Amino acid sequence: MRRAAPLAILVLCGCVERSDRPPVPSSQAPAQLPPPGRPRILHLYAHPSVVRKGQSTRICYGVENAARAQIDPRPGDVPAFANRCFEIGPDRTTEYVLTAFGAGGGKVSQRLKVAVSTPEPKPPPKPAGPEGPPRPRILSFTVNPQTVSREAAVTLCYETSDAATVRIEPPVVDFRLPARGCFGHAPETSTAYRLTATGPGGSDTREVAVTVR
């Protein structure tokens, strides 16, 4: 009788080799965020820029790369938006200062003047007789700011009455101007802008100047 061979059991063992060596550093540096841009004031204007006491005006502003914005005197802190307008009724001629604060600590400011006029006395009654067409009038014509650096923009605002046509020289837009409005323009050199309002009753002209440094 043959003797049975012993049963061999093979046990496989998985071993993991530990290593105390530091990991090989990656050749790529970690991505870095670009530094925040400098704050900019895109525009600041009031329409109308001249009001009578007791009336209100509309101030519009826009900022870029700003963590916060502020207008003094009141309303104080305002949203740092690219375009925003609000109503305000100054009781006297006031110079407003818009300041945009950047996330990196920089800031930039721009000034805006709103004039408050006293009511004009009523003119004496006209004598009876035939009346011609009313003479056009320029109620206001302003530019802000009045001094800028090259390639910077200014805002021209105006208001007329009894005018059939309105034009600004040198031209700032390529369409027919309404009776009142505000437009941006970037003069290359120091420029004198002339506003002319024309109608059946005659014409009226006014000028404003911008200095380019």
Is residue 88 a contact partner of residue 24, using CB atoms and an 8 Å limit?
Answer: no
pTM: 0.46
Please identify, among 119, 147, 164, the residue that sits at the C-terminal boundary of a domain.
119
Q: Residue 127: its pLDDT value, please?
A: 64
Rounded Cα distance between 116 and 125, Å, is 26
100 and 145 part of one domain: no
Burial of 84 (0-12, 13-18, 19+ CB in 10 A): middle
113 and 86 part of one domain: yes
Q: Residue 124: its pLDDT value, please?
A: 74
Rounded Cα distance between 141 and 105, Å, is 36
Q: Residue 134: its pLDDT value, please?
A: 92
**Cross-sheet strand order for the sheet of 137-144:** 137-144, 154-161, 180-185
Please identify, among 87, 119, 151, the residue that sits at the C-terminal boundary of a domain.
119
115 and 139 part of one domain: no
Rounded Cα distance between 40 and 172, Å, is 23
* Residues 6+ positions from 193 with CB-CB distance below 8 Å: 143, 156, 168, 169, 170, 172, 207, 208, 209, 210
Q: Residue 102: its pLDDT value, please?
A: 94
Q: Hey, what are 96's tokens? A: 């407003």
C-alpha gyration radius of the chain: 35
| Angle value at C-alpha 171, between 144 and 204, nearest 5 degrees | 80
Q: Tell me the CATH number at 176.
A: 2.60.40.10
104 and 172 part of one domain: no
140 and 107 part of one domain: no
103 and 144 part of one domain: no
Give exposure, 20-35, as e/b (b: 16+ Cβ within 10 Å).
Answer: eeeeeeeeeeeeeeee
| Residue 144: CA count within 13 A, CB half-sphere | 27
48 and 112 part of one domain: yes
Helix (H) or strand (E) holding 43: strand 40-47
In a domain, 154, yes or no: yes
In a domain, 42, yes or no: yes
145 and 213 part of one domain: yes
In a domain, 11, yes or no: no
141 and 177 part of one domain: yes
The tens-digit pLDDT sequence of the chain (213 residues) is 455 544 444 344 444 455 555 554 554 555 555 566 899 999 999 988 889 888 899 999 999 999 999 999 988 999 999 999 999 999 999 999 999 999 888 999 999 999 998 766 677 766 655 678 899 999 999 998 999 988 888 888 999 999 999 999 988 777 788 888 888 888 889 999 999 999 999 999 999 999 998
Q: Residue 166: its pLDDT value, please?
A: 93
Q: Residue 120: its pLDDT value, please?
A: 65
Residue ranges making up the domain that contains 106: 37-119
Q: How many domains does the chain have?
A: 2
Please identify, among 88, 119, 150, the residue that sits at the C-terminal boundary of a domain.
119
213 and 146 part of one domain: yes
Q: Residue 62: its pLDDT value, please?
A: 95
115 and 138 part of one domain: no
Q: Tell me the CATH number at 103.
A: 2.60.40.2470
111 and 139 part of one domain: no
